[in-house]
């Protein structure tokens, strides 16, 4: 749970103001029910609730009178039930007796004159929403509130640095006050709130270090073991008050990621749906999205593009109905041509001049002209043909799709594991001209592995090593199949992919220190091939087709550097360093 501090100039008097609300009176019972109750209960209930709702000036007298009556009837469970029902009249109060008790929760003690109830506005919250707690007391009490998060963290919510006074009067109170807010944050799952009301305060120094709140830690972390913290709190309560001098309440709510439903339909159907520039599928299409603002674009061969911006809120379900208009270029102004397209296997997607036209078998009527037809299907090679349509012509294309033969990808070599560094210091003999051959492995912050090889000479006391090397970082991405046009051209919107490993060539210098240690410095140039592929791309998870758009390759260059340490022992050299692209690199070399 994230706690946000609001402006300090707001009033902080909620905890000291007299209660403005009071407990609701219980429902009137039937005559039969009233006769079944004993006489002391009839006398106790009106006096108890008059004590809660009368003016504060009568508080002392009526508190004494209520205490006298409670002492006579406190053993009756009906009175306890009656008080609980009255408190439950507040909206959103937790029905904790019907819930299983979560880990770390302290339950309400039996038959106590002090009562507290806890209420929430709802049972489901999304990250970013504000949390407001409603606390109902039947008498003045010291209140402590803490939460148990889905990852088992126990945080003290009240009192805190912004609202340190926790002695609350009888009535209903809202936490937090105007000085700060409680805002829901991940992780998702079930989160519980525990409230304790005591007749005397707990020793705060045993809850938090120093016994004081600080601006750096306004809501202290109390524990990460809820069950152990429960036992600790129970021991504190017993040491501070009697067994009847406290009350407890709790409730739980669910933290779930926000969701919204979007349904897109069109006439005619089968149009490609792009959301914020990403192709998601064909109409009719139903999606689950996070709340936010989205631009929806529909496109189909022979029709004008349709676009609309929509705002999705949490829990909303919105349907977009698009009436596609026939493009002026394809409206029959005179004689037309008919084109039929069939395929083996069927249900393949057809693109005409890079615009989606539908699935086979397909029959359309279009204007005469020259067209490029592409038929694609998942796990099959694309079928391409260019044809010339004349007026009144009737042509049928039969596309026989060949299964796609895939070559298995060789396994990625694991980074080499360096041998352990000797614990005892080793005296290294003066270097002499020798040859070093080594290899190294790295892992970047993005979890991209790499492997490198080095060749160098041990030359003098000043420089342990001067050498050259090269490395490969396994940065290749899954690149969709595309038509390589050979050289960069204007393809409109494109998607860029890293194709193949990133290759680096570098030079290395190791400066000798004492005790066989050395400082390694390296610099070089890395080359990465990139594929630029025209949009739209149809993901396989959204459509059961593979679109083969045009694209081209380029190369991107990066300057690289490494700083690290090395240790030489006889004919073995161990090294570790930080590389600006490969991350931490560990190497081992052998001196001949």
Provide DSSP, 208-226.
Answer: SGGGS-BTTBSS-EEES-H
**Is residue 461 in a domain?**
yes
Assess whether pLDDT exceeds 60 at residue 496. yes
Banded model confidence at residue 24, pLDDT cuts 50, 70, 90 = very low
> Two tokens at 119?
């209420």
Order of strands, sheet of 272-275, starting from the edge strand that comes earlier in the sequence: 278-282, 272-275, 292-299, 306-312
**Quick one: average pLDDT of 550-574?**
88
pLDDT tens-digit map of 361-411: 988 878 788 889 999 888 788 899 998 888 888 889 999 998 865 445 455
SS3 342: strand
Residue 345 DSSP class? S
Whether residue 515 is found in the same domain as residue 587: yes
Whether residue 127 is found in the same domain as residue 242: yes
Whether residue 381 is found in the same domain as residue 470: no
Between 33 and 227, the higher pLDDT residue: 227
Going by C-alpha positions, the residue among 422, 377, 411 that lies closest to residue 546 is 377
The whole-number pLDDT of residue 100 equals 67
286-295 burial: b if 16+ Cβ within 10 Å, else e: ebebebeebe
Residue with tokens 């209140």: 143
In CATH, what number is assigned to the domain containing residue 205?
2.60.40.2550
In CATH, what number is assigned to the domain containing residue 349?
2.60.40.10
46-78 burial: b if 16+ Cβ within 10 Å, else e: eebbebbeeeeeebeebeeebeebbeebbebee
Whether residue 313 is found in the same domain as residue 338: no
The whole-number pLDDT of residue 54 equals 35
Assess whether pLDDT exceeds 70 at residue 20. no
Whether residue 213 is found in the same domain as residue 153: yes
Q: Which domain holds residue 51?
A: 24-89
Q: What percent of the chain has pLDDT over 90?
A: 30
Cα–Cα dist 31/250, whole Å: 35
The whole-number pLDDT of residue 408 equals 52
Whether residue 104 is found in the same domain as residue 213: yes
CB–CB of 284/265 below 8 Å? yes
pLDDT tens-digit map of 306-361: 999 999 988 889 999 999 988 765 655 556 788 899 999 988 888 888 778 888 99
CB–CB of 527/555 below 8 Å? yes
Whether residue 70 is found in the same domain as residue 168: no
pLDDT tens-digit map of 55-74: 333 334 444 444 433 344 33
Assess whether pLDDT exceeds 80 at residue 91. no
**Is residue 19 in a domain?**
no
Find all residues with CB under 8 Å of 542, minimum gap 6, and list them. 279, 280, 281
Bridge-partner residues for 265, per DSSP? Answer: 321
Average pLDDT, the chain: 76
Find all residues with CB under 8 Å of 164, minimum gap 6, and list them. 213
CB atoms within 10 A of CB 179: 18
Banded model confidence at residue 19, pLDDT cuts 50, 70, 90 = very low
> Two tokens at 401?
């799709």
Distances (CA, A) of 123 to 42, 256, 269, 419, 570: 36, 11, 40, 55, 68
Whether residue 348 is found in the same domain as residue 387: yes
Whether residue 199 is found in the same domain as residue 341: no
Going by C-alpha positions, the residue among 410, 479, 471 that lies closest to residue 444 is 471
> Two tokens at 316?
């909303």
Whether residue 174 is found in the same domain as residue 61: no
In CATH, what number is assigned to the domain containing residue 302?
2.60.40.1120
Whether residue 467 is found in the same domain as residue 576: yes
Q: What pTM was computed for the model?
A: 0.37
CB–CB of 471/579 below 8 Å? no
Q: Which of 356, 381, 400 represents a domain boundary (last residue)?
A: 400
Cα–Cα dist 224/228, whole Å: 9
Whether residue 251 is found in the same domain as residue 353: no
Q: Which of 33, 60, 89 represents a domain boundary (last residue)?
A: 89
pLDDT tens-digit map of 410-460: 555 555 555 544 444 434 444 455 788 999 999 988 888 999 999 888 766
**Is residue 428 in a domain?**
no
The whole-number pLDDT of residue 231 equals 92
**Is residue 250 in a domain?**
yes
User: How many residues in the chain?
Assistant: 592
**Is residue 422 in a domain?**
no
Assess whether pLDDT exceeds 50 at residue 478. yes
Helix (H) or strand (E) holding 42: helix 39-53
The whole-number pLDDT of residue 95 equals 40
Find all residues with CB under 8 Å of 408, minimum gap 6, and list them. none
Within 13 Å of residue 376, how many CA atoms lie on the same side as its CB? 21
pLDDT tens-digit map of 172-194: 999 998 888 898 888 888 899 99
In CATH, what number is assigned to the domain containing residue 566?
2.40.160.20
> Two tokens at 376?
């694609």
CB–CB of 23/183 below 8 Å? no
**Is residue 419 in a domain?**
no
Question: What is the count of structural domains for the chain?
Answer: 5
The whole-number pLDDT of residue 3 equals 47
CB atoms within 10 A of CB 445: 7
Q: How far apart are the first and last CA of the chain?
A: 60
Going by C-alpha positions, the residue among 18, 89, 16, 77 that lies closest to residue 49 is 89
């Amino acid at each position: 749970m994230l706690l946000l501090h609001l402006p300090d100039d707001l009033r902080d008097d909620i905890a000291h103001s007299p209660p403005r609300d009071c407990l609701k009176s219980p429902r009137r019972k039937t005559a039969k029910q009233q006769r079944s109750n004993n006489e002391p209960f009839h006398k106790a209930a009106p006096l108890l609730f008059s004590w809660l709702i009368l003016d504060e000036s009568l508080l002392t007298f009526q508190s004494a009178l209520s205490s006298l009556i409670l002492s006579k009837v406190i053993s009756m469970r009906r009175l306890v039930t009656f008080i609980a029902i009255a408190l439950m009249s507040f909206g959103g109060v937790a029905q904790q007796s019907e819930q299983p008790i979560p880990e770390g929760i302290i339950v309400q003690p039996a038959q106590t004159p002090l009562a507290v109830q806890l209420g929430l506005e709802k049972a489901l919250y999304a990250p970013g929403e504000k949390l407001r707690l409603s606390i109902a007391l039947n008498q003045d009490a010291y209140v402590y509130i803490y939460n148990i998060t889905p990852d088992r963290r126990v945080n003290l919510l009240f009192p805190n640095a912004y609202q340190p006074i926790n002695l609350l009067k009888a009535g209903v109170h809202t936490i937090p006050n105007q000085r700060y807010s409680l805002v829901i944050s991940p992780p998702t799952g079930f989160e519980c709130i525990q409230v304790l009301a005591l007749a005397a305060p707990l020793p705060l120094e045993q809850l938090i270090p120093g016994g004081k709140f600080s601006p750096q830690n306004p809501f202290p972390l109390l524990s990460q073991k809820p069950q152990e913290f429960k036992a600790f709190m129970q021991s504190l309560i017993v040491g501070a008050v009697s067994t009847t001098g406290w009350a407890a309440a709790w409730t739980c709510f669910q933290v779930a990621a926000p969701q919204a439903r979007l349904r897109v339909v069109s006439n005619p159907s089968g149009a490609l749906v792009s959301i914020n520039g990403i192709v998601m599928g064909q109409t009719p299409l139903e999606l689950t999205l996070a709340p936010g603002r989205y631009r929806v674009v529909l496109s189909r061969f022979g029709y004008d593009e349709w676009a609309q911006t929509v705002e999705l809120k949490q829990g909303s379900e919105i349907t977009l109905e698009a009436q596609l208009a026939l493009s002026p270029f394809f409206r029959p102004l005179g004689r037309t041509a008919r084109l039929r397209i069939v395929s083996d296997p069927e249900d393949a997607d057809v693109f005409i001049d890079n615009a989606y036209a539908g699935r086979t078998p397909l029959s359309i009527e279009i204007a005469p002209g020259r067209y490029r037809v592409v038929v694609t299907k998942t796990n099959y090679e694309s079928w391409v043909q260019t044809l010339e349509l004349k007026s009144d012509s009737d042509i049928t294309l039969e596309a026989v799709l060949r299964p796609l033969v895939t070559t298995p990808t060789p396994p990625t070599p694991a980074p080499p594991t360096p041998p352990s560094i000797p614990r005892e210091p080793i005296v290294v003999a003066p270097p002499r001209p020798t040859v070093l051959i080594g290899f190294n492995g790295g892992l970047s912050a993005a979890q991209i592995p790499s492997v490198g090889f080095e060749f160098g000479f041990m030359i003098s006391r000043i420089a342990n090593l001067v050498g050259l090397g090269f490395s490969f970082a396994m940065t290749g991405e899954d690149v969709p199949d595309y038509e390589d046009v050979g050289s960069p051209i204007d393809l409109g919107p494109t998607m860029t992919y890293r194709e193949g490993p990133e290759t680096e060539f570098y030079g290395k210098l190791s400066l000798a220190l004492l005790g066989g240690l050395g400082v390694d410095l390296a610099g070089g140039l890395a080359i990465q091939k990139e594929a630029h592929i025209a949009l739209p791309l149809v993901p396989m998870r959204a459509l059961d087709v593979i679109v083969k758009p045009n694209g081209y390759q380029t190369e991107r260059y990066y300057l690289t550097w490494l700083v690290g340490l090395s240790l030489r022992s006889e004919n073995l050299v161990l090294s570790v360093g930080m590389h600006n692209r490969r991350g931490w690199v560990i190497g081992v070399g052998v001196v001949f």
